[in-house]
Amino acid sequence: MNLRTPISELTGVGDHYARKLEKLGIKNYEDLLWYLPRRWDDYSHLVPINEIRPDEMVSVKGKIWEISNKRAKSGMNITEAIIADDTGTIKATWFNQPFLTTTLKADDEICLAGKLEWNRNSVGMISPAFEKINSENEAELTHVGRIVPVYAETEGISSKWLRSKIKPLMKLIYSIRDYLPEEIKKEHNLIDLPAAIRQMHFPENSSQLKKAKDRLDFDEMFLLQLAVLNSRKKLNRERAIAIPFNEALIKGFVQDLPFDLTNAQRKSTWEILQDLTKVAPMNRLLQGDVGSGKTVVAAMAMINTVISGNQAVLLCPTEILAKQHFDNVQTLLKPYGMDCFLLTGSTSKAEKEDLYNKIREGEAKLIIGTHAILEKGLEFWRLGLAIVDEQHRFGVGQRAALRKESLSTKTLPHFLTMTATPIPRTLSLTIFGDLDISLLNELPPGRKTIITRLVPNEKRQDGYQFVRAEISKGRQVFVICPLIGEEASEEMDKKTVMAEYQNLTKNVYPDLKIVYIHGKMKPAEKEEIMTNFRAGKFDILVSTSLIEVGVDIPNSTVMVIEAADKFGLSQLHQFRGRVGRSTHQSFCFLFTKSSNEQTLKRLYALVNTNDGFKLAEADLEIRGPGDFVGTRQHGLPDIKMSNLMNLVLIKKCREAAVKFLAKNNLESQTALYEKTAMYDSILSLE
């Protein structure tokens, strides 16, 4: 019996339960010990039966006088038991658990935990937690009479079952290596790791539980900060090409623009161009709300790079976005006689081979494309700047393919990532802590605030009429659905692209020009549809989330989102950003049938503000105390939402990490280094 013992060998598990536990990320004994509770029920208040008060969570001990099953008129089985101690008796009632009369017998000693409630003119405990008392557990109960852990569950795996399987493994906790250095634990008054894990599962009291939480909360943020700061430290040891700032070129470029830059665009461009002049590789995030003008900032960075004889590449998550960036950048660079090359999955084999050669030989200096840029065999002669648009759409391995040495210089490129997803302040100090951040927090002049409305089902026809009125003014409309068509389900209420397209063309707007688009179409087909829609040949475009990022159709003034409750808050904000890109007043309608209070709170957050940064904070708050990354599914450590919102904890851990790295080489601290390596994928936002 050791930490690596397969979970199937634990008594009462076997292959059947092992398969269920694997869904929770539990494969061996150590995984089970690290499967920490999500909350705790305090059943530690043990009182005599005659002192129980209504609605008070308590535990009582006594003997079963009698227990029996009876059938209600509804057909429900009701199990009733009378329990007595020296001070009185109490009735306990359970529903649809007839097996209890074989588990519990008269004269059995038992501990119950729950509240005193009224049930059909009698008072008692309704569906209380319970545990039989015997010689083995008399000294320490597992499920009642104490602070009891409650775990994230799956079908067939209850918290009670998990507690019974974790308890025998407590003898192994001292085999778990404590990776935190003694000086850190001493300075921050933290208990040892094995003790913390024991108290998380089976706390002696609330004080010990708090100490355990404090230790593991500190660990989570400290390890993340160490990983972030060490990543920055390693990058600073690398070398990039120092790209001079061509002031005359940039000033002329800005003067030739058909619009004025915002102050935020000017500041961000300056920060990027200054970073490019250094030999340490830039690692900067350009964070701009939807419609804030990131493309022109990227264009200035690229033109400054290319004019000095270096290569620049812009990586996009979709062909639609790559083609749009290509068209925009080509237009901006036309006066400078620079060639721009497009490389996507649709590029023919012959064209691709030709372009690969031009890139390898340094002839092609400015390249815009999709995942095709990351294919093996593509090498850059002198890559000075790599830009990734919407970096969370790419995995760590994919982005690493861009962060490789150039053939001629053996240097890394400067790296700029762009996102339209606003990042809360706490995240910028943690997950994005290794990045320098430039903010585009102003919209171009002349843009009007998008009016957002929540549309319940009974107001649907009003929404349809409004859309028709906008189209009669010559405007265009997006309609977003959560699914394509073949995945339709009752749960989604069949709000699919295909179903909605049929509904709109046959029942709602038979006289209008409507087209649909989705990700399973061929690239050429999607490109043709978007070109025609941009040219005004269609009134309505029905789509999946395919058009979430970057699509720019200035004449579109209405965004209709079907089953809006099925999308995340930041995604809804991205959809909304597809309109409002001209001087025309634009609108966003959130169609929903949901009456769930939490869901409506989330949707009203979108209605009440167009500020993506405020929405990002609201999104974190609404998500509550859950986890930021689906850790069990991804094999990554949990990052609790409450910790990501705790600025005091974050700053404390960051200071501790800075201080530690100033004195120590992390790689020499084997256990600590291995633990921080677990956070690499989170930092890469896979």
Closest CA to 129 of 13, 40, 51, 213: 40
Q: How far apart are CA 125 and CA 148, in angstroms?
A: 18
Please give the single-letter amino acid code of residue 171: K
State how many domains the chain has: 4
**Residue 389 to residues 81, 523, 553, 558, Cα–Cα distance (Å):** 64, 19, 18, 25
The pLDDT of residue 631 is 36
Q: Is the dihedral of CA 99, 102, 108, 109 positive or negative?
A: negative
397 Cβ neighbours under 8 A, 6+ residues apart: none
* 604 and 616 co-located in one domain: no
538 Cβ neighbours under 8 A, 6+ residues apart: 476, 513, 514, 515, 532
Higher per-residue pLDDT: 400 or 190: 190
In the block, tokens 């991804």 appear at 634
DSSP string computed for 525-540: HHHHHHHHHHTT--SE
The pLDDT of residue 206 is 93
Q: How far apart are CA 165 and CA 11, in angstroms?
A: 8
Asked if the structure places residue 218 within a domain, the reply is yes
**Cβ proximity of 173 and 197 under 8 Å:** yes
> What is the DSSP-derived secondary structure letter of residue 443?
P
Is the model's pLDDT at 416 over the cut of 90?
Answer: yes
**Where is 223: in which H helix or E strand?**
helix 206-237
Q: Is 91 left (phi over 0), alpha (psi -120 to 50) or beta?
A: beta
> Taking the model in full, what pTM does it have?
0.72
The pLDDT of residue 637 is 57
Q: For 185-209, how does the pLDDT look when each residue is reduced to its tens digit (9 = 90+)?
A: 999 999 999 999 999 999 999 999 9
Two tokens, residue 661: 């790295």
Closest CA to 325 of 298, 347, 352, 356: 298
Q: Categorize the per-residue pLDDT at 395 as very low, low, confident or very high, splitting at 50, 70 and 90.
A: low
In the block, tokens 């059943």 appear at 43
Q: What are phi and psi of 678, to 5 degrees?
A: -65, -20
Q: Categorize the per-residue pLDDT at 398 as very low, low, confident or very high, splitting at 50, 70 and 90.
A: low
Asked if the structure places residue 170 within a domain, the reply is no
**3-state DSSP helix/strand/coil percent for the chain, to nearest 5?**
45, 20, 35
> What is the DSSP-derived secondary structure letter of residue 145?
S
**Single residue among 545, 574, 609 that ends a domain in this structure:** 609
Q: Is the dihedral of CA 188, 191, 196, 199 positive or negative?
A: negative
Asked if the structure places residue 82 within a domain, the reply is yes
Closest CA to 299 of 340, 242, 343, 264: 340
Q: The domain that contains 137 carries what CATH number?
A: 2.40.50.140
> What is the residue-averaged pLDDT of the chain?
87
The arithmetic mean of pLDDT across residues 630-657, rounded, is: 71
The arithmetic mean of pLDDT across residues 591-603, rounded, is: 89
Asked if the structure places residue 586 within a domain, the reply is yes
What percent of the chain is modeled with pLDDT above 70?
A: 92
What is the span of the domain harbouring residue 382?
247-277+293-419
**Which range (49-53, 125-129, 138-142) has the least confidence?**
138-142
Q: How far apart are CA 315 and CA 378, in angstroms?
A: 14
507 Cβ neighbours under 8 A, 6+ residues apart: none
DSSP string computed for 344-383: -TTS-HHHHHHHHHHHHTT---EEEESGGGGSTT---SSE
Q: How many CB atoms lie within 10 A of CB 535?
A: 10
Q: For 349-386, how does the pLDDT look when each residue is reduced to its tens digit (9 = 90+)?
A: 999 999 999 999 999 999 999 988 988 888 999 999 99
Q: How far apart are CA 208 and CA 200, in angstroms?
A: 9
* Listed ranges 104-118, 120-134, 229-243, 270-284; the one with the highest mean pLDDT: 270-284
* 576 and 458 co-located in one domain: yes
The arithmetic mean of pLDDT across residues 62-76, rounded, is: 91
**Residue 662 to residues 358, 656, 683, Cα–Cα distance (Å):** 45, 10, 21
* 616 and 604 co-located in one domain: no
Asked if the structure places residue 168 within a domain, the reply is no
Packing angle between helix 206-237 and helix 647-663, nearest 10 degrees? 50
> What is the DSSP-derived secondary structure letter of residue 150?
E
Q: Categorize the per-residue pLDDT at 214 as very low, low, confident or very high, splitting at 50, 70 and 90.
A: very high
Asked if the structure places residue 345 within a domain, the reply is yes
Closest CA to 76 of 53, 90, 97, 105: 97
Q: How many CB atoms lie within 10 A of CB 3?
A: 17
* 271 and 412 co-located in one domain: yes
- Exposure pattern of 495-528 as b/e (b: 16+ CB <10 Å)? bbbbbbbebbbeebbeebebbbbbeeeebeebbe
The arithmetic mean of pLDDT across residues 539-559, rounded, is: 87
The arithmetic mean of pLDDT across residues 318-339, rounded, is: 87
**Where is 185: in which H helix or E strand?**
helix 182-187
* 407 and 483 co-located in one domain: no
* 458 and 550 co-located in one domain: yes
* 205 and 133 co-located in one domain: no
**Single residue among 90, 122, 145 that ends a domain in this structure:** 145
* 605 and 615 co-located in one domain: no
Two tokens, residue 678: 């677990």
Closest CA to 518 of 484, 480, 486: 484
**Single residue among 609, 642, 660 that ends a domain in this structure:** 609
Closest CA to 179 of 230, 228, 215: 215
Beta bridge partners of 119: 122
* 462 and 540 co-located in one domain: yes
Is the model's pLDDT at 632 over the cut of 50?
Answer: no
Q: What are phi and psi of 68, to 5 degrees?
A: -155, 160
**Cβ proximity of 603 and 565 under 8 Å:** yes
Q: What are phi and psi of 567, to 5 degrees?
A: -110, 155
Asked if the structure places residue 164 within a domain, the reply is no
**Cβ proximity of 633 and 25 under 8 Å:** yes
Beta bridge partners of 388: 315, 417
Q: How far apart are CA 416 and CA 435, in angstroms?
A: 9
**Which range (98-102, 336-340, 511-515, 550-554) has the least confidence?**
550-554
Angle at 224 between CA 222 and CA 227, to 5 degrees: 110
**Cβ proximity of 160 and 143 under 8 Å:** yes
Is the model's pLDDT at 633 over the cut of 50?
Answer: no
Q: Is the dihedral of CA 638, 641, 645, 649 positive or negative?
A: negative
* 358 and 404 co-located in one domain: yes
In the block, tokens 């995945």 appear at 487
Closest CA to 432 of 418, 442, 443, 412: 418
**Cβ proximity of 495 and 481 under 8 Å:** yes
Q: The domain that contains 490 carries what CATH number?
A: 3.40.50.300
**Cβ proximity of 487 and 552 under 8 Å:** no
* 222 and 302 co-located in one domain: no
The pLDDT of residue 636 is 46
Q: How far apart are CA 268 and CA 440, in angstroms?
A: 7
User: CA end-to-end span of the chain, whole Å?
Assistant: 35
Q: How far apart are CA 121 and CA 384, in angstroms?
A: 80
* 251 and 351 co-located in one domain: yes
Using DSSP, state whether 199 is helix, strand or coil. Answer: helix
The pLDDT of residue 281 is 93
Asked if the structure places residue 424 within a domain, the reply is no
